[in-house]
A and B are shown apart, each in its own frame.
Chain A
C-alpha cells in the first residue's frame, strides 16, 4: 500500500506534466489550423494540472492536520498542541508550502480565464500562466535527474532528510511531536498576511500575460484596458499584503517600528512601486496614446521583479544580509534559470516587435498633466532603483566571484538611515508631481490661467505647514519639505475633488488615492522621525554595569507593586499574568499552580474575574504556556489604562521574543515592551530564613507583609497507606494585591516531607515545618529574595494613526478607480 506521501509526490509530478502539456497546447492554438481542438485540449490539461495540484495541497494539509511527523514538513513546522489556525499558517512557513500557496492563486486565475468564452487572448494568457506554473511546480518537484536535484518536495520523509542513529535501529521510528511553529509566526496576521501577499504576486501575472500576448499577437491596442484594470488590482492586493506585514512587525517584533528596510521587505516594496509606475504609464498610453514602449517595459519588468525578489529571498544569496530569508533549499540554480527564462522571453518579444510598436512623436508640453504624470513615473522608477541596487549587493558579489574576481562589498550598515534619507526626497517629489499632474490633467482646459489653479492650495499649504513647522517644531530641512509637499498634495488634490463634486457630482477616485498617500506620508514622517523614548532613566542609577549603555539610559526598572514615573505616566507593575484557554481575561500567575506533566493548572484560591467565578482547586488550561504577560498600570491625570506586553519562550530553543503592547490614542501611540525580566530558569538565592508559630486565623507578619493563616486542610491519600497531607492556605496582602501561598506538610511512614510554595512576585518562599496539634499551632518558615521586576522601554509614536488612516483612504480611492474601469471584451 503506497503511502499518502507517495501519492502527494505523484500528484505534483502529474500536475507538472499537465502544466507542460497545457503550455504547449495553448501555444499551438494560435499557430495551427485546428485551433479549437488544441484549445479544448489545453483547457483539459490545465484543468488536470489544477486538479492534481489541489489534490497535493489537500494531502499536505492532511499530513499537517493529522500530525504525521514521519513527514519532514510536518515535523519541521507543526506540533501536536498547535491550535488549528496556526496549523493553517504552518502550511506556508516553509518554502515548499509557500510555492504551493502561490500556485493555488495562479490556478484560480487560470480557471477564471479558461472558463470565459474562447478568444485568442484568453488562450495566450492561460499559456503564459501555464508556463509560470511549470516553473513554479518544478520548485516542489523533488526529482533527481542524474545528479541534479530538481525542486524540493514537501512530501519527503523525515528519515530521508535527517541522519539520526535512531533510524538505523528502527527505520519506522516516528517522533512523538514536531518541532512546532516559530513563535514569531504564531500570530493571526501570519494566518492572513502570506495569502494576501501571494495573491498579489499571482495577480501580477495577468498584466504580464497581457503584455506578452499583445506582443505575440502583434495587437498593441486591446491589451491596455484589461491591463490597466488588473494592474490596479495587483497594486491594491499587494499593498494590503505589505501593510499587513508591517502591522505584524509593529505589533509582534520589538524593534519599535513597522518597516526595517530588510532585504526581504525591499524585495516586495520595489515590485510594488513598479506596479504603481506601470499602472500610471498604462493610463497615459490608454488615454493619450503615448509611451507604448514604456508601458510594455514596465508591465513586463514588474513581474520579472517579482521573480527576482523570489530569487533573492529563496536562493540563499541574501543569507549574509537578511534576518529573515528562507532557509536555503539548494534551488538557486533552478530559480535563476526561471528568472532568465522569463527575462529572455520578454526581451525576445520586445526586440522582435520593437519597430512595430506604435509611437507618437508629439512632445508633451511642460504645462500639461501628462508631462508631470510621466515625471512621476520616472520618479517611481528611480525610487525603486535606489532600493533595489543596495539590496542586490550580495548578487553583485556573487557575480564577481563567478568570474573569478573578489568583492567584499556589504549592504549599508545603517540601512534605516541610508534608505530613509534618500526615499524621503523621492516621496516629497512624488507628492508634488502627483498634485501638479492631477490639477493640470483635470482642470487645465477649464481655466485660462494656470497659476490661479494652484494659488489657493499653495497659500493654504504655506500657512499651515509653517504653523506646524514652527509649533511642533520641525527642524530638519528634509522633514519640512516632506511635510509641505504632503500638505500641498492634500489641498491641491482636494481642490480637484471639490471641483468634481460641485460640477459633476462625481468623486475623483484618483484624488482620493493621492490624498490618502499624502496623509500616509505625514504619518510616516512623524511616527518615524519623531518617535521618542518616554522611559528615560532619570533616577541616576545604573541598572546593571553589564547592560549596554542604551538600556541603562533609555529603560526603566520597575519593581512589582511599586509606583514609578515613566515619562509623564505613573506606572505600576502588577506582576506576571497568564491567559486561560477560552477566556479573554488575564490571571495572576501566582494564583496558578502547575500540575507537572499535564500542562494544566490548579487555581489556588476562589476568584471572580470579569464575572466568571473560579473555585479553589479548579483545574484550568492555560492558552499558551510559553507566553507570559506583564500587567502594567499607567496613570496620567484622569487617564488610566493597562498594558500587557508579553514574552514568549520556545522550549525547543533558546529563543526569547518580547512583544510590545500599544495604547492607541488619536494623536499618538504609546508603545511599551519589556526588555528583560528575571530569568525563570535561573537559580534563586534565598536568604533570611525566619520562622513564626501561628494558630489558624491569626494575623502575622511574613517579612513585611500582613498575612493570615486562613485554614489548613488535611487529607490521607489512601486508607491503607500511612500518608498524611496538611495543606495550609496563607493569605498575604501586599500593596493592594492579595496573594495566596499553599505550602504543604506531608507525613509518610514517619518520614516528613515539606513542600514549600513560592510567591514569585513578592520573592517569598513559604513552608510549614512543624505542626503542634495539641496547641493548634503551625510553624511557618519563610525565606526571601528580590521582588519581581521588569525593565521596560516605552516609546511615543506621534501621528502613527495617520499612516494607517492614510492607507485606508488610499486603498478606498484605488478600489473606487478599480470599480470605474469597465472591462472590454477581447
Chain B
C-alpha cells in the first residue's frame, strides 16, 4: 500500500498547487474606474475590461483615431458601468472590430492612458440584425 498512498498524496498535492496557482494568476474583469484605482495604487497587473464601442445618438461609432500608418489605433470604449475611456492598441485594427457588439480589452493603464495588449471581440450572433451591402 505504501507506494500508492505516497503517489496519491503527491498527486493531490500537485492538484492543489495547480488550483492555487490558477486562481492566484487569474486576471480579473473590472471597470475602468477600478482599473484606474489599481494603477494609482501602483498595481501594474494586466486586467480585463468588458465594454462596447462608443456610439453617438445616431448609432454611429465615434472616437476612432487611426494612425496614418495603420499600425496602431485608439478608440473610445464604454465599460459596463457606462464610463467612457480612450483605449490605445499598438496593432492594426482587428478584423470585424467595427462590427463587434462587445469588446474585451486586456491590458493596463500606463502614463494615464489605457493600453490594450490584446482585444477580444464578440461579434453579433447570426440572428440579430445585420445589414446587407448591396
Q: Which A residues lie at the B interface, using CB under 8 A?
A: 72, 76, 158, 161-164, 166, 175, 179, 182, 184, 316, 319-323, 327-330, 363-366, 371, 374-375, 378, 382, 385-386, 389-390, 393, 408-414, 418, 422, 544, 546-548, 550-551, 650, 652-657, 675-676, 679, 682, 791
Contact = CB atoms under 8 A, between A and B. Distances in A.
B4 interface: yes
A551 B72 CA distance: 10
B9 interface: no
Interface residues of B, number: 56
B125 A390 contact: no
Given A653-B99, A676-B70, A329 B126 contact: yes
Contact of B67 (A327, A364, A375, A546): A546
16 contacts: A316-B125, A319-B102, A319-B122, A320-B29, A320-B120, A327-B124, A329-B125, A330-B125, A413-B46, A413-B47, A413-B48, A413-B106, A422-B18, A546-B72, A653-B99, A679-B69
B132 A166 contact: yes
A791 B3 CA distance: 60
A9 to B, nearest CB: 17
B131 A164 contact: yes
B95 A655 contact: yes
Contacts of B83: none
Contacts of A364: 3
B132 A162 contact: yes
Contact of A161 (B48, B106, B126): B126
Given A382-B18, A410-B106, 8 more contacts: A411-B27, A413-B27, A413-B106, A544-B71, A546-B68, A546-B69, A548-B91, A676-B69
Nearest to A382: B14
A418 B70 CA distance: 31
Contacts of A371: 3
Contact of B134 (A175, A408, A422, A547): A175
Contacts of A363: 1-4
B71 A550 contact: no
Given A319-B122, A371-B3, A654 B69 contact: no
Contacts of A393: 22, 26
Given A382-B14, A382-B18, A410 B28 contact: yes
Nearest to A322: B120
Nearest to A156: B126
Contacts of A175: 132, 134
B28 A161 contact: no
A316 B121 CA distance: 11
B19 A378 contact: no
Contacts of B18: 382, 385-386, 389, 422
A385 B95 contact: no
Contacts of A162: 129-132
Given A382-B11, A547-B71, A548-B90, A411 B126 contact: no
B134 A412 contact: no
A546 B69 CA distance: 9
B26 A414 contact: no
Question: Which residue of A547, A548, A652 has the most chain B CB atoms within 10 A of its CB atom?
Answer: A548
B21 interface: yes
B82 interface: no
A320 B4 contact: no
Interface string B99-128: 100101010000000000100101111110
A76 B124 CA distance: 13
B46 to A, nearest CB: 3
A729 to B, nearest CB: 34
Nearest to A72: B126
Contacts of A657: 95
Contacts of A328: 122, 125
B34 to A, nearest CB: 9
B45 A413 contact: yes
Contacts of B104: 320-321
Nearest to B26: A409
A327 B125 CA distance: 6
Contacts of B70: 656, 676, 679
A161 B127 contact: yes
B48 A166 contact: no
Contacts of A655: 95-96
B25 interface: yes
Interchain residue pairs A-B with the least CB separation, the first 10: A548-B90, A413-B46, A655-B95, A410-B48, A410-B27, A413-B27, A408-B29, A319-B122, A546-B67, A328-B125
Interface string B68-105: 11111000000000000000001111011111001010
B28 to A, nearest CB: 5
A175 B71 CA distance: 34
B50 interface: yes
B131 to A, nearest CB: 7
Contacts of A374: 7
Contacts of A413: 27, 45-48, 106, 117
A184 B120 CA distance: 17
A150 B113 CA distance: 46
B89 to A, nearest CB: 9
Contact of B26 (A184, A410, A544, A676): A410
A238 to B, nearest CB: 24
Contacts of B92: 656, 676
Nearest to B125: A328
A339 B49 CA distance: 30
A16 to B, nearest CB: 21
B3 A390 contact: no
A410 B29 contact: yes
Contacts of B95: 182, 184, 650, 653-655, 657
A670 B82 CA distance: 46
B69 A408 contact: no
B38 interface: no
A544 to B, nearest CB: 6
Given A328-B125, A409-B28, A550-B90, A653 B96 contact: yes
Contact of B69 (A330, A544, A652): A544
A412 B11 contact: no
Nearest to A167: B132
A390 B71 contact: no
Nearest to A364: B3
Contacts of B102: 319-320
A706 to B, nearest CB: 31
A551 B71 contact: yes
Interface in B8-26: 11, 14-15, 18-19, 21-23, 25-26
A138 B118 CA distance: 36
Contacts of B98: 653-654
A320 B123 contact: no
Given A162-B130, A408-B29, A413-B45, A378 B11 contact: yes
A715 B82 CA distance: 66
A408 B30 contact: yes
Contacts of A390: 22, 25-26
A411 B7 contact: no
B106 to A, nearest CB: 5
Contacts of B93: 654, 656
Contacts of B91: 548
A783 B65 CA distance: 30
Contacts of A322: 120
B61 to A, nearest CB: 12
Contacts of B96: 653, 655
Contact of B3 (A76, A166, A366): A366
Contacts of B120: 319-323
Contact of A409 (B23, B71, B124, B131): B23
A363 to B, nearest CB: 6
A656 B93 CA distance: 8
Nearest to A182: B95
Contact of A675 (B1, B23, B71): B71
Contacts of B46: 413-414
A365 B91 CA distance: 57
A166 B133 CA distance: 11
A72 B14 CA distance: 49
